Structure 1
Amino acid sequence: MTTEPERSLPTASATCRARALYRDGAGELHLNWPLERLGEAIHSGAGTLWLDMENEADTPCPLAETILREVFRFHPLAVDDALKETHVPKIDDWDGYLYLVFHSSQIDPESDDLRLQELDVFLGPNYLVTYHEEPLEYLTEARKAIEADPRDRMKDGADHLLFRFLDRSVDQSLAAIEVLDERIDDVQDAVMDDLGPQTLQQIFRIKRSAIQLQKTFGPQRDVLNKLSRDPYKVVQEKHRIYFRDVYDHIVRIHDISEGLRDLIAGTLDTYLSVISNRTNEIMKTLTVVTVMFLPMSFITGFFGMNFFGGSLELDVWMPKWLLFFGSLSVMLLSPVAILAMLKRWGWF
């Protein structure tokens, strides 16, 4: 079989990188396969090629675009979807290859926000192309595992290699859910101790993360369901059972995220109930104080408290000093009597 001539590719940069690992038909692993010889590995019909491309810049990566369009000759629509983050998990069958969008999740330890990491994948008969816009921890771990055991890790083909990546991605998402569950436990404890605005903000952040997690893993569940059941040409029948295992994990994550959403909604209801109860207690206390001082207000308003030197001739029917001390006694005893009465009735 003739091989294609070496292509002139744009140079890589600090923000746009590409690395190829190739296990040839003889079982030898090439950890840094030249990008100019990608066509040779693709058209050899043997071995397994993994090309990983990363672009951390906000602008398009000329190297990645050239490789996807001219070397692999992927459909322009699939290339456009890969180079622009879609944030929607999906799978497209282009007959000779599959295009997948998959997400992993992480929890920001400082803000408790959910961070979705998109991975765009092209799966062919003997190659796997991954594209992402930030470093992915599980891909780094997978590469180190291949380097540590070069004979075993890529021998089962590109579709089995994809299974390994998706499995690691789901494990990372499960770890994120555990962190989110711990945050919910913490905020539930804080509801009874601290009712400040920070607690309310944390509740809404966790609620937003749980809703986003459920919205993401719903379509992702459909992607794994198709990989495990549909007869795609590039997925070996014996490997579908592996994708079915990942599908079970995705279903579990989706169910857990739904439970977390209900749990954080219950926490918000508890927070509002505690706030309402505290407000009722405050209003109750203020009402009791108002009632206790109501007789004082009535007496002082009625007599004006101008017993000595006033214009009223109170001595005609009662001495001024007697009226003064009588009013003072009523004003002092009435709050005590009202408080005792409220306590006896169980209102305070």
Structure 2
Amino acid sequence: MARFLKNTENKVGKSPDDLVFVGQQKLDNPHIHIMDFDSVSLREIETDTPEDCREFLASKTVTWISVYGLHAPALIKGIGDIFGIHALALEDIVHTGQRSKMEEYDDKLFLILKLLTIDPDSEYFRSSQLSIVIGENFVISFHEEKIDLFSPARERVRKQKGRIRKSGPDYLAYTIVDIVVDNYMIVLEDIGSQIEDIEEAVIEEPNSQTLNQITHFKHEVNYLRKTIRPAWELIAQVSKLDNDIISEQSQPFWKDLLGITIQATEVLESYREMLSDHLNIYNSSVSNKLNEIMKVLTIFAAIFIPLTFIAGIYGTNFEYMPELHWRYSYFVFWGVMIVVAGLMLRFFKRKGWM
């Protein structure tokens, strides 16, 4: 199954106003979670009706609206109509094959990022799309599925930890993106330890399984690169913005986040080089092993070539050969051949040539 592109056949020829979900449904029941807060108060609501969000449009507090389930275009459109989200942004939200990017729409900032998780069955990385709309007093996050990744941020809001309750929506958006980027680093640490473990196997005992591992991780590193590098570009754009959405107080946090994403991309490049080196070492080890095998076989051949030459000239046509008149000579002859062949096969197998 292709991981980079989604099947867009259903949306060909459609207007941006006609929202068509592109992707795989990952949630049964779409719903909305609302956290409305300031430095002294907090209110939480769970609902599946967009109209319940309307009262927070003109609120003086900061509102975090989390929409779960992108396969319900009516729900997405309802949220978009209430908060004045641009039609192109809504189209990108329900199209889960988008590349990470940033767009400015009037008085709102629109971000798309990819969340990374690992499929425990296939051990392949998979991504889900996270879209964020930042307004004057609200942040709306659109999720493909409900995962616990953002639970720490919600706990910080509930327990008034840090500056999240005292800051604006731009800092809340930074907090969300920071969690995504931190998760990138956790993913990179995990795959990095596995890549380093391959090196020992490549040097000591290269085999087809080792080659399969190298190929697998090369595919995964390329996938991570195509996921993380656009996020770096997005954060670089946000850190250089000059508008009222991202305040001067939040700019240092975004710039710090930029440094982390740069580090992540550098680590990915290092992993790509390591895997290329592992592949070269594997090929060299296999080639050296083949040379050892050929050396031994050449010695065998060198011994038997003159013997075969002598036997070819004289044959077995000697007048006095005791085996010629022995009743079981033919069977002994076959027995000797089978034993010799068996011993040679055993020798090759013990040497790891078979």
Q: Which amino acid aligns with 1:252?
A: Q
Provide the aligned C-alpha RMSD in A: 2.3
User: Which of these residues, 107, 112, 115, is aligned with residue 96 of structure 1?
Assistant: 107
Q: 1:18·1:51 contact (CA, 8 Å) conserved in 2?
A: yes
Q: Once structures 1 and 2 are overlaid, which stretch shifts more, 282-291 or 113-122?
A: 113-122
Q: Once structures 1 and 2 are overlaid, which stretch shifts more, 184-193 or 132-141?
A: 132-141
> What's the offset of the Cα at 1:103?
2.2
User: Does 1:37 find its partner at 2:48?
Assistant: no
Q: 1:112·1:206 contact (CA, 8 Å) conserved in 2?
A: no
User: C-alpha offsets along residues 280-337 of structure 1, whole Å, 9 cap, x if unaligned?
Assistant: 1111111111111011111111111111279xxxxxxxxxxxxxxxxxxxxxxxxxxx
Q: 2:66·2:140 contact (CA, 8 Å) conserved in 1?
A: yes
User: Does 1:231 find its partner at 2:239?
Assistant: no
User: Which of these residues, 19, 26, 35, is aligned with residue 33 of structure 2?
Assistant: 19
* Distance across 2 between alignment mates of 1:206 and 1:48: 42
> What's the offset of the Cα at 1:33?
6.4
* Distance across 2 between alignment mates of 1:307 and 1:152: 104
User: Does 1:147 find its partner at 2:139?
Assistant: no
Change (3 A) 1:116 1:52: same
User: Which of these residues, 127, 148, 164, is aligned with residue 137 of structure 1?
Assistant: 148
* Distance across 2 between alignment mates of 1:309 and 1:116: 82
User: Which of these residues, 102, 109, 113, is aligned with residue 124 of structure 2?
Assistant: 113
User: Does 1:162 find its partner at 2:177?
Assistant: no
Q: What's the counterpart of residue 212 of structure 1?
A: 223
* Distance across 1 between alignment mates of 2:227 and 2:111: 14
Q: Once structures 1 and 2 are overlaid, which stretch shifts more, 75-84 or 128-137?
A: 128-137
* Distance across 2 between alignment mates of 1:41 and 1:150: 23
User: C-alpha offsets along residues 184-216 of structure 1, whole Å, 9 cap, x if unaligned?
Assistant: 111111113443322111111111222222232
Q: What's the counterpart of residue 330 of structure 1?
A: none
Percent identity (aligned): 26
4+ aligned runs moved over 6 Å, structure 1: none
Change (3 A) 1:202 1:193: same
Matches within 5 A, 1:65-80: 65-80=76-91
Q: What's the counterpart of residue 65 of structure 2?
A: 51
Q: Which amino acid aligns with 2:109?
A: L
Change (3 A) 1:262 1:107: farther
Larger radius of gyration: 1
> What's the offset of the Cα at 1:107?
4.3
Gaps of 5+ in 1: 1-12, 311-348
Change (3 A) 1:63 1:163: same
User: Does 1:64 find its partner at 2:56?
Assistant: no
> What's the offset of the Cα at 1:143?
1.7
User: C-alpha offsets along residues 139-177 of structure 1, whole Å, 9 cap, x if unaligned?
Assistant: 122223322338963331111001111111111111111
Gaps of 5+ in 2: 1-26, 322-354
Q: What's the counterpart of residue 200 of structure 1?
A: 211
Q: 1:18·1:54 contact (CA, 8 Å) conserved in 2?
A: yes
* Distance across 1 between alignment mates of 2:153 and 2:112: 19
Q: Which amino acid aligns with 1:305?
A: T
* Distance across 2 between alignment mates of 1:292 and 1:151: 81
Q: What is the TM-score normalised by the length of structure 2? A: 0.76
> What's the offset of the Cα at 1:231?
0.9
* Distance across 2 between alignment mates of 1:256 and 1:102: 19
* Distance across 2 between alignment mates of 1:212 and 1:262: 15
* Distance across 2 between alignment mates of 1:199 and 1:86: 32
Q: Which amino acid aligns with 2:170?
A: D
Q: What's the counterpart of residue 339 of structure 1?
A: none
Change (3 A) 1:205 1:232: farther
Q: What is the TM-score normalised by the length of structure 1? A: 0.78
Q: Once structures 1 and 2 are overlaid, which stretch shifts more, 247-256 or 111-120?
A: 111-120
* Distance across 2 between alignment mates of 1:229 and 1:184: 35
